[in-house]
Chain A
Amino acid sequence: MSYDDVEIEDMEWNEELKAFTYPCPCGDLFQITKEELKIGEEIARCPSCSLYITVIYNMEDFADQKSKTNIDQPKQQPVAEIVWSLAEALGLLQGILVAPWSMDHGLGA
């Protein structure tokens, strides 16, 4: 049985583990990677024990970001999107772009 249901915005990005994490009652961390989220995985496991949690998230949020800006660009981009792409190119929004929910806690990804 899933130990808990946790929204992705309540998980913390861990740069060392390259995974979203949430505290496990054993003292370790439940973990799930972006790649797992991308393919629709919703179980985050703890490497130290048998417990796992169900991650609640919108799969579309994890669709390949590159395909949006590089491959499937429409000929006429909405202004907001142009600004977005420019900002991305300039690296101004580095960190924020990777994980919008990481802004929640004021901790960049």
Chain B
Amino acid sequence: MEANERVKDTQEKQELWSWGAGTEGQLGTGKLQDEYLPQLIPILPSFSLLSCGGAHVIALTHGKKVLTWGRGTSGQLGHGDKVNSLEPKSVEVLNNFNIAHVSAGWNHSGFVSECGQLFICGDGSFGKLGLGDYMPQYSPIKVSHFASRHVYQIACGMRHSLALLKGEHGDQVYGFGSGKRGQLGISNEKVKSVSLPQNVSGLQEVNVSSISANGDHSAALSSDGHVYTWGRGFDGDPDVCCPNCVISHYSFKQVALGWNHALGLTDEGDVHMLGGSHHGILNNHQKEILVNQDLNEDKLKKIPGLNRIKVVGIASGSEHSVLTTGKALLNVLKFCAENGMIMTWGWGEHGQLGLGGTCDQTCPQVASMPQNDAREYIASKVYCGSGFTFVVRAWRPK
């Protein structure tokens, strides 16, 4: 569950919307109930980045401070206790730092400061906090293993974590926590678990621009647009213990992982998917002929129903997917593809698709976001937790 775009224009104002599973307070609405339609969250500071976990949310403000809310029973909110928070609350331990990147996992959380320090909190089972033990932490604590080295990004999955380091020796990815499905990528064989960070093998020569973790999956995106995945196999395929380059003639600019599927956004604005035979189900027609390195079969499917719509952002929950659009490529389609249109598909039982009901969807559907006529909407960013969805919608006065 990750996202790493940074907002350029702080003059923009924002609306924050949420929907889906809400019984742990993760929607930030102050209520403990599922919402089937987009809910507007009352005034908050503007956010540069959100990350949504199993049932909690981490928000990074433009002022580089951190707010969290939702389930806190494992200490994942970093408030020093094991209490849920129905509303966004500051992580005070981090107030002395400028935070640049955050990631929410199933029940743990990671925070990276501007100067490259990694802080972590939450459930410590499987060693996924990287502190050398299996204990929970209720407040963010520095991962001392990296000493003075520069951590650039953190990605928290269900039972494991990945860290991206940048420095003189190039980019390095580290894994810690459970390796039962190969998700650590640290060895050719499956590793039960490690409680201290270990180097991911097979990415040494790769210039890594971002990392992702969700469920038992891991992924890295290279600066030249290649996607590497490792961990649990998609669609019943064998698990993969080392980063495997997904062979494609497209160049990718964003990757989003679910528990049984992965989405890739191409430079051209198309969305491709790996796996998804669970609830992320899509029709198998319109398969793109792309070859997977290992199995020599078509593995990457182009998402149907998006012809001529340019996608600018993607997000994956455990079993649902969300995208946001840019301008239509054809003028005639402009009316239906405004900037920042939100589309959702996959599992819908908790209203996480925002379509007003609980039905599953096999193709992307438009989630209608209420419009304020006095506002010009510029761009939207989408984020998914396990069974819920957040949208940050930027606007300026007309």
Contact = CB atoms under 8 A, between A and B. Distances in A.
Contacts, number: 56
A27 B26 contact: yes
Interface residues of B, number: 31
B24 interface: yes
B134 A27 contact: no
Interface in B104-129: 106, 125-127
Q: Is chain B's interface secondary structure helix, strand, loop, or mixed overall?
A: loop
Contact of A25 (B125, B127, B192, B319): B319
Nearest to A108: B134
Contacts of A12: 125
B349 interface: yes
B164 interface: no
Contact of A3 (B106, B127, B278): B278
Contacts of B388: 27
B19 interface: no
B192 A104 contact: yes
B75 to A, nearest CB: 14
A93 interface: no
B318 A105 contact: no
A50 B134 contact: no
A49 interface: yes
B55 A27 contact: yes
A10 interface: yes
Interface in B162-195: 180, 192-193, 195
B350 A26 contact: yes
A50 B359 CA distance: 13
B61 interface: no
Q: Is chain A's interface secondary structure helix, strand, loop, or mixed overall?
A: loop
Nearest to A105: B125
A105 B193 contact: yes
B347 interface: yes
A23 B105 CA distance: 12
B180 A27 contact: no
A62 to B, nearest CB: 22
Contacts of A28: 23, 55
B328 to A, nearest CB: 33
Contacts of B158: 23
B259 interface: yes
B384 to A, nearest CB: 11
A25 B106 CA distance: 10
Interface string A36-79: 00000000000011110000000000000000000000000000
B351 to A, nearest CB: 11
B387 A105 contact: no
B279 A106 contact: no
A57 to B, nearest CB: 16
Given A105-B193, A106-B134, A25 B259 contact: yes
Closest 9 CB pairs of A and B: A25-B318, A27-B55, A106-B134, A26-B387, A27-B386, A25-B319, A27-B387, A105-B125, A27-B21
18 contacts: A3-B278, A10-B180, A23-B106, A25-B259, A25-B317, A25-B319, A25-B386, A26-B350, A27-B21, A27-B23, A27-B71, A27-B350, A27-B385, A48-B350, A49-B350, A51-B349, A104-B192, A106-B134
